[in-house]
Amino acid sequence: MAGVWSIILLSIFIVSDRSNAMRGYFWHISDLHWDPSYDLGSTSASKCASSGDRPTPNAGIFGDYSCDSPWTLINSTLNAMRDIMPNPDFIIWTGDDTPHVPNEQLGVEPVLRIIGNLTHIIKTTFPKTKVYSAMGNHDYHPKSQMPPEKNNIYEQTANMWHDWLHSTSKETFKIGGYYTEKLLNQTGLRVVVLNTNLYYDQNKLTENIKDPADQFSWADKVLQDAAKNNEKVYIIGHVPPGFFEKKRDKAWFRKEFNKRYIDLIQKHSAVIQGQFFGHHHTDSFRMFYSSKGSPISTIFVTPGVTPWITTLPGVINGGNNPGIRMFEYDTKTLLVKDMFTYYMNLTYSNKVHERWEKEYRLTEAFRVPDASPASMHSVMERIASDKCYLQKYYEFNSVNYDLTECNADCRIDHVCAVREVDFEAYEKCVVKEGGSSTAPVLFTLLLSLILSLLCLN
């Protein structure tokens, strides 16, 4: 009998050991937006150039919600990452390095200097870690006007990222700011880093071009080859397709580019195991479905490090606490198993002491087994149907900055942005969700109050 138990325990140990062996971790950081002008000693009403005309009376050592990141916040962020997970398998860095200031306050050299300084601190903090880095629309001068051809900024950035890029990666990066490599040089695993700033509706240089820098054709070929070689793929970029959840009808891509991107994902969903983007400064995700309605892929939108309150017209409470994200993944299949978001409560850290803490773990907060497309579809359905989950998601969305109630209009904006990346489908979702409630106003308010009390328990 003792021999039987020994075999059972040994079997459990072997299975557990194999499971741990296939478990890996990586960091995703985005939208650092370093503002070198941040100065607590300034006698002006604003302590930073990125605040514009907004006063910053509560500015502290780690920043202000009206400002982009001071160097103290950048340094604190990298140190926190090292303290939490000092030896990640790799790091994803999805751009936007310069502050939100007018173009005339920057220039080619200041932009390159900022990218260079941030590159240096990441390399210094994680000297042995591979970094897969995408450019943001603020990583060019003039901002957002990224050309679909060779230029000095692509060239100089590739030189700064020399240690992170293979020789073939440098070639395509210098042409269009995109590249592909085997993930950690492992057979069967691949990373595709896109320059989606070429599809940004603010980019005047690509307005009348069908396939800027031939990136769509290139990506289609890379993903076709990945299928032939039995590879699994992560896609990385800065500006995501679809709509901004904090402003109704606000899309980032031009319509034709948005459709082509969706077509690309649907065509190659069998090899794509995850998409990782930034730009929003918020914590969110986007679902992709097959023609039959099955969930096939997810974009994970990571929150920004900068706490800067957006000046985008129509956005209310558009700030966030600094956030960083760690993913757990299967090192053989690239299945995203879990994600952990860590944050700094900026007000607390400025007034009391520096503190980074875990905000939430996906599988615990939303009660799903992993972060697969099927599980993320379940998260979306719970957000859409359960007020408690909606409110939880909403507070995570701003990294615990905006704790107000997500009302009916707020729900529509978030649910439809997550559910529908396609332009026409999004519009139909807004109409459908907006017209679904026929309950009297008093009853709706009473129900909202009851549900709010239940969420507290």
pLDDT recorded at residue 442:
44
pLDDT recorded at residue 43:
87
pLDDT recorded at residue 456:
52
- Confidence class of residue 440 from pLDDT cuts 50, 70 and 90? very low
Lowest mean pLDDT among 12-26, 323-337, 412-426: 12-26
Residue 398: pLDDT over 50: yes
Mean pLDDT of 332-342: 98
The model's pLDDT over 49-68, given as tens digits with 9 standing for 90+, comes to: 999 999 999 999 999 999 99
Q: Is 9 exposed, middle or buried (0-12, 13-18, 19+ CB in 10 A)?
A: exposed
Residue 123: pLDDT over 70: yes
Give the domains, in start order, of the chain with CATH numbers: 23-455 (3.60.21.10)
pLDDT recorded at residue 434:
86
- Confidence class of residue 19 from pLDDT cuts 50, 70 and 90? low
Share of the chain above pLDDT 90, in %: 89
pLDDT recorded at residue 216:
98
Cα separation, 31 vs 18, whole angstroms? 36
| Of 94, 57, 87, nearest in space to 306 by CA | 94
- Confidence class of residue 21 from pLDDT cuts 50, 70 and 90? confident
Residue 131: pLDDT over 80: yes
- Confidence class of residue 399 from pLDDT cuts 50, 70 and 90? very high
Other beta carbons less than 10 A from residue 437's beta carbon:
10
Mean pLDDT of 399-404: 98
Residue 436: pLDDT over 70: no
pLDDT, the chain, mean: 93
Mean pLDDT of 378-403: 98
pLDDT recorded at residue 441:
38
Cα separation, 382 vs 392, whole angstroms? 11
Residue 85: pLDDT over 60: yes
The model's pLDDT over 340-361, given as tens digits with 9 standing for 90+, comes to: 999 999 999 999 999 999 999 9
The model's pLDDT over 235-294, given as tens digits with 9 standing for 90+, comes to: 999 999 999 999 999 999 999 999 999 999 999 999 999 999 999 999 999 999 999 999
Residue type, 319: G
CA 330 to chain centre: 20
Mean pLDDT of 16-44: 88
Residue 143: pLDDT over 70: yes
- Confidence class of residue 154 from pLDDT cuts 50, 70 and 90? very high
The upper half-sphere exposure of residue 190, i.e. CA atoms within 13 Å in the direction of its Cβ, equals: 22
- Confidence class of residue 454 from pLDDT cuts 50, 70 and 90? low
Residue 333: pLDDT over 80: yes
Residue type, 104: E
The upper half-sphere exposure of residue 68, i.e. CA atoms within 13 Å in the direction of its Cβ, equals: 19
pLDDT recorded at residue 453:
52
